[in-house]
Amino acid sequence: MGGASLRRLPANVSGQAQTGPVPSITALVEPTLLSWARKTANLEPLAAARKIGVPEGRVEEWEDGKSKPTIAQLREAARVYRRPLGVFFLPEPPQGFETMRDFRRIFGSGEAEWSAALHDEYRRAHAQRDALLEIAELDGIEPPSAWRLSNLPDADESIAADARRALESAAPLDYPTPRVDEYQHLAYWIAALEQLGVMVMQTGGGQVETDEMRAFSLYFDEVPVIALNGADWPRGRLFSAIHEYAHLLLNTSGVCDTTTDTRATTEDRRLEARCNAIAAEVLMPAADVLDSEMVQERAPGHDWTLAELIDAAKPFGVSVESFLRRLVTLGRVPIEFYRAFREGRTERDLRGNRSSGGSFYLTKARDLGRGYVRAVVDAHSRSVIDSATAAAFLDVKVNQIGKLAEKARL
């Protein structure tokens, strides 16, 4: 047999069992599906061929329609491209499959194709949301929808005021005292969003670079999603979370830009400026900022030092940059001072400290979203879902569910 592998094949029409070389079954897949899957995985043809384990040039042949992969090769391609096998048998690439409702990048970064890591996080967001919907259906309940304001005001200041009242009313944690660290501020607002019915998750630290993505949101009437970049500074994550909430309230769509400049000349930039303004009013209400002791003691136009800004921003849990930008909008600091100040400082100066990491269970609970973990664990404890399903939803082993639940407690 020349060393060919043998296996027993199904019986033939005469009922006799067959043995022989394993046949290479051709996958009847459209070339456009293969090209779409590779490009959205951000892989060049040569890199894809090497990962799949086929000769150089074979991927181009598949995509040009000159040859077709075998079922085994297609299965490996699906693994490399991080796609379910079934998607390759569609008649054409799915429309809107990769449309993200919001996509926040850091200031000054340009648009680019998504990395494979970002694709993974985007699909995880959908998968976790589907899990919550499944639990709600099995439980016979409607997912919380209090995140939507019953009557959306016309004025952005009123939207922010109503949003803050809704978040404060729903918050299951006490409002942070002025001198607590930024992580408690972040935990407070995330818990409030989750209580209103928003699923908040975070990407694993370092998996998606912050210059590609700081946050994104997915608008749905039920269980909308906010995803934050776990590699970002906690103060930056806080502002991003409320910025994305503003997008959900406005039910907007499209690629977003994080510009903080006043020269918003395009529709997208005006939208970003609007969401930034709503987020700033939620986190730093004008009356609270202007009535604060440090602002009261300094005349308009005062040249704020970094140390002063750090102390003034701390009670609000925001970054130095966000607080200084707020002073600009409130007429206390000229925009020129803000621009010069930002250009002369590092990201650490402007945004604060990064997360130093934690235990496996702590990080896992953070990335999945503590509210999400609690929902799955609660459904498991009430036998709405079985242990295997709960473990699959949480991406852990069954014997790890208990420890993960401990880290997700409020």
Q: What is the pLDDT of residues 127-145, one digit of tens each?
A: 999 999 999 999 999 999 9
Mean pLDDT, range 359-381, rounded to an integer: 96
Q: What is the DSSP letter of 88?
A: G
Give the closest residue to 64 by CA, choosing from 29, 27, 24, 32.
Answer: 32
Give the closest residue to 216 by CA, choosing from 292, 122, 113.
Answer: 122
Mean pLDDT, range 345-367, rounded to an integer: 77
Band of the pLDDT at 103, cuts 50, 70, 90? low
* Integer Cα distance of 213 and 208 in angstroms: 7
Is the whole-model pTM more than 0.85?
Answer: no
Band of the pLDDT at 23, cuts 50, 70, 90? low
**Domains, in order of start, for the chain:** 27-97 (1.10.260.40), 116-351 (no CATH), 360-408 (no CATH)
Instruction: Tell me the C-alpha to C-alpha distance, in Å, between residue 277 and each of 239, 247, 258, 286, 407.
Output: 11, 11, 12, 11, 34
Band of the pLDDT at 104, cuts 50, 70, 90? low
Mean pLDDT, range 40-66, rounded to an integer: 90
Residue with tokens 């067959």: 18
Residue 15 is predicted with a pLDDT of 40
| Cβ–Cβ under 8 Å, residues 284 and 316 | yes
Tens-place pLDDT, residues 230-277 = 999 999 999 999 999 999 999 864 334 444 444 556 777 788 889 999
Tens-place pLDDT, residues 337-352 = 999 998 877 766 666 6
Give the closest residue to 369 by CA, choosing from 187, 211, 239.
Answer: 187
Band of the pLDDT at 94, cuts 50, 70, 90? confident
Residue 7 is predicted with a pLDDT of 34
| Cβ–Cβ under 8 Å, residues 351 and 233 | yes
Tens-place pLDDT, residues 146-159 = 999 888 898 999 99
Band of the pLDDT at 18, cuts 50, 70, 90? very low
Residue 252 is predicted with a pLDDT of 63
Measured at the CA of 212, the angle between CA 210 and CA 218, to 5 degrees, comes to 95
pLDDT at 3 over 90: no
Average pLDDT, the chain: 85
| Cβ–Cβ under 8 Å, residues 46 and 92 | no
Residue 50 is predicted with a pLDDT of 92
What letter represents residue 20's amino acid?
Answer: G
The structure tokens listed for 165 are 């009242």
Angle between helices 306-313 and 320-329 (to 10 degrees): 90
Band of the pLDDT at 91, cuts 50, 70, 90? confident
What string of DSSP letters covers 262-295?
S---SHHHHHHHHHHHHHHHHHS-HHHHHHSHHH
Residue 257 is predicted with a pLDDT of 41
Q: Which of 20-29, 87-96, 109-118, 142-151 has maximum average pLDDT?
A: 142-151
Residues whose CB falls within 8 Å of the CB of residue 158, separated by 6 or more in sequence, listed in order: none
Residue 112 is predicted with a pLDDT of 54
Mean pLDDT, range 344-369, rounded to an integer: 79
Burial 281-316 (b: 16+ CB within 10 A, else e): bbbbbeeebeeeebbeebeeeeebeeeebeebbbbb
CB atoms within 10 A of CB 241: 24
Comparison of pLDDT for 309 and 108, the residue scoring more: 309
Burial 169-191 (b: 16+ CB within 10 A, else e): ebbeeeebeeeeebbebbbbbbb
| Cβ–Cβ under 8 Å, residues 102 and 247 | yes
Range in 109-113, 173-177, 245-249, 347-351 the model is least confident about: 109-113
pLDDT at 22 over 60: no
pLDDT at 95 over 70: no
Q: What is the DSSP letter of 203?
A: E
Instruction: Tell me the C-alpha to C-alpha distance, in Å, between residue 140 and each of 129, 134, 349, 379.
Output: 17, 10, 49, 12
Comparison of pLDDT for 316 and 267, the residue scoring more: 316
Residue 179 is predicted with a pLDDT of 77
What letter represents residue 229's amino acid?
Answer: N
Residue 353 is predicted with a pLDDT of 65
Residue 204 is predicted with a pLDDT of 81
